Amino acid sequence: MPRDETVESFRRGLEVVKAFDGRKSQTITEVAERCQLTRAAARRFLLTLCDMGLARTDGKHFTLTPAILGIGQAFLSGLSELEIVREVLVDLTRRTGESSSAAMLDGRDIVYVARSPALHRIMAISLAVGTRLPAHATSMGQALLADLHPRELERFFAGTTLKSFTPFTLTSEGALRDRLAEVRRIGAAIVSEELELGLRSVAVSVPGVGGGTRFAINISAQAQRVSEKAMLDDFLPALHEAARSIAMAIQRR
């Protein structure tokens, strides 16, 4: 899209909102640094958000308000298939006893769009709809990356730093490309302790209408309880069945 047809101030305002990802509160200086803005510009954007009721401040720190969820809800409410996805994930958790989730790819991250948590907590961070995690270090991210068109995958590598989260994170382009080739070969992505120590997950992509990949779904478990072999033998068949159920239900709508 031509740059002269876009509104740069609107773009920067959205970057300010995104700067709060994973951070409960921030100062003007922190937002300015994250968004590469002057303090004056960051202050104007933050005060505008406060005026709209989307943020609040104690005079030093700024936090987003629950009203910001309305922006994401406008998107999620347009995805009627998410009701199907949620129902399938609940059944998957009931059958396996483990947490299951669905996510979409957004740039270098995955964004959770549905989740069915198990009774036992498996991650240090709290996962919910809207949570963003790095695609290269997650099973759903690797499943989605493996399905990208080669040109889209090149853009991903060109714009992404493969950050290390544990000693097992894939941080070289060559290693990640080899992993994605393996994902394509076996039809699933298995990630063991690459994002968080003690966490293991397996994911598959879900084809959308017209053949393009829309979602990935996964099952996550504690690594000390569930081996990679158990993931493949016990959970992957159920995951493939769930993916087929979602795809067929979406096509019938």
187-233 pLDDT tens trace: 999 999 999 999 999 999 997 655 556 789 999 999 888 899 999 99
Q: Is the pLDDT of residue 8 over 60?
A: yes
Residue 100 confidence (pLDDT): 93
Q: What homologous superfamily is domain 79-252 in, according to CATH?
A: GAF domain (3.30.450.40)
pLDDT score recorded for residue 84: 82
Q: Name residue 114's beta-bridge partners.
A: 102
Interval 124-152 mean pLDDT: 88
Tell me where in the chain the CATH 1.10.10.10 domain(s) lie: 3-67
Close Cβ partners of 93 (under 8 Å, ≥ 6 residues apart): 99, 100, 116, 117, 118
Per-residue model confidence as pLDDT tens digits over 144-179: 999 999 999 999 999 899 999 999 999 999 999 999
Residue 40 pLDDT greater than 80, yes or no: yes
Binning pLDDT at 50, 70 and 90, where does residue 1 land?
very low
CATH 3.30.450.40: which residues of the chain? 79-252
Of residues 249 and 16, the one with the higher pLDDT is 16
**Residue 113, φ and ψ in degrees, nearest 5:** -115, -10
CATH architecture of the domain with residue range 3-67: Orthogonal Bundle (1.10)
